[in-house]
């Protein structure tokens, strides 16, 4: 356990500065989006001379509606950094392995020579990815109440449609994807993410084991994963036909089970490759 924790700490320290920089960019971009939305809305309000009378205010609100933080949450400068961060984390799944192979002094030699199981290295890298994802989520949840409070302070109260963090997370925006309000949906979404990470780990280890042939094997492995994911649809369409359909909740539970199988299978397959095939 101590070697595992040391490896996790080592992996986290390798990307820590860059990751902090990424979080700072996310925060700056989101605050810029906050003021951009406010400026655009207030320009329309001032052009309509909304403050001249109660009737003018009511007419402006009738035409344009109240402004709320949900409009900020749907702004490109707010959503963009989150999407980019998720994409960079997926890219880091490759970097976390290939950096050790192609960096200075081929660091993977030293890692595999450590007096510990290669799966300890494997799980340390997987844990690092998980820490990155959960840290981004926690950072966003800490940032949201601050952003909402600032937004509500800079908008005239008569034009403001108030909302809190819970209202925002449950609204029609990107948070429905990264932070579902339903616990089962939350488990399902993050099992998908874990399944993708462990599948990519297996793809990388196949490539490291068989080189060019490994890329082909990795593509075939990914195709098998896709077929597994589509099993509920296949059963519904080709076994029972058009007269039968699963309830949405049943599909979700089946997919949760399938992704648990995919994750377990990927880990066991990766264990085999690390023990018997992967060379340095």
The residues, ordered by sequence, that sit 6+ positions from 74 with a Cβ below 8 Å of its Cβ are: 173, 174
Max avg pLDDT among 65-79, 122-136, 177-191: 122-136
Q: Which residue has the higher pLDDT, 113 or 118?
A: 118
Asked whether residue 38 carries a pLDDT value surpassing 70, the answer given is: yes
| Mean pLDDT for the stretch of residues 85-107 | 82
Q: Identify the pLDDT of residue 131.
A: 92
Residue 36: pLDDT band with limits 50, 70, 90: very high
Share of the chain above pLDDT 90, in %: 32
**pLDDT band (50, 70, 90) for residue 57:** confident
What is the rounded average pLDDT of the residues 71-83? 89
Q: Per-residue pLDDT for 103 more than 80?
A: no
- Please determine, for residue 219, whether its predicted confidence score (pLDDT) is greater than 90: yes
Beta bridge partners of 160: 67
Is the pLDDT at 107 greater than 80? The verdict is no
pTM for the predicted model, two decimal places: 0.85
pLDDT above 70 as % of the chain: 91
pLDDT of 216 reads: 95
pLDDT at 202: 95
What's the mean pLDDT when you consider all of the chain? 85
> Which is more confidently placed, 58 or 198?
198
DSSP assignments along 65-131, one per residue: --B-HHHHHTSHHHHHHHHHHHHHHHHHHHHHHHHHHHSTT-THHHHHTSSS-HHHHHHHHHHHHHH
pLDDT of 173: 66
For the cut 90, the answer to whether the pLDDT of residue 27 exceeds it is yes
Quote the Cα angle for 224-225-227, to 5°. Answer: 65
What's the rounded mean pLDDT across residues 224-252?
Answer: 78
- 158-193 tens-digit pLDDT: 888 877 667 666 666 677 777 776 778 888 888 888
> Count of alpha carbons within 13 Å of 145, Cβ hemisphere only?
5
Q: How many CA atoms lie within 13 A of 41 on its CB side?
A: 25
Distances (CA, A) of 106 to 24, 71, 203, 239: 31, 48, 20, 51
């Amino acid at each position: 356990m101590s070697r595992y924790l040391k490896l996790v700490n080592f992996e986290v320290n390798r990307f820590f500065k860059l990751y902090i920089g990424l979080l700072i960019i996310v925060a700056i971009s989101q605050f810029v989006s906050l003021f951009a939305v406010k400026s655009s809305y207030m320009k329309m309000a001032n052009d309509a001379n909304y403050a001249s009378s109660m009737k003018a205010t009511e007419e402006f609100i009738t035409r344009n509606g109240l402004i709320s933080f949900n409009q900020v949450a749907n702004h490109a400068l707010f959503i963009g950094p989150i999407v980019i961060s998720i994409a960079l984390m997926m890219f880091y799944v490759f970097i976390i392995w290939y950096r050790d192979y192609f960096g200075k002094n081929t660091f993977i030699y030293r890692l595999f020579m450590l007096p510990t199981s290669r799966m300890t290295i494997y799980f340390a890298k997987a844990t690092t990815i998980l820490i990155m994802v959960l840290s981004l989520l926690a950072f966003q949840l800490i940032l949201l109440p601050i952003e909402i409070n600032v937004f509500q302070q800079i908008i005239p109260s008569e034009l403001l449609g108030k909302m809190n963090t819970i209202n925002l997370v449950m609204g029609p925006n990107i948070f429905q994807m990264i932070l579902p309000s339903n616990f089962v949906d939350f488990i399902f979404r993050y099992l998908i993410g874990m399944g993708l990470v462990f599948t990519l780990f297996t793809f990388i280890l196949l490539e490291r084991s068989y080189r060019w042939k490994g890329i082909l094997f990795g593509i075939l492995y990914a195709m098998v994963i896709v077929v597994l994911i589509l099993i509920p649809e296949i059963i519904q369409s080709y076994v029972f036909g058009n007269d039968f359909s699963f309830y949405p909740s049943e599909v979700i539970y089946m997919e949760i089970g399938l992704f648990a199988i995919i994750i377990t299978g990927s880990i066991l397959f990766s264990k085999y490759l690390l023990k018997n095939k992967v060379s340095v």
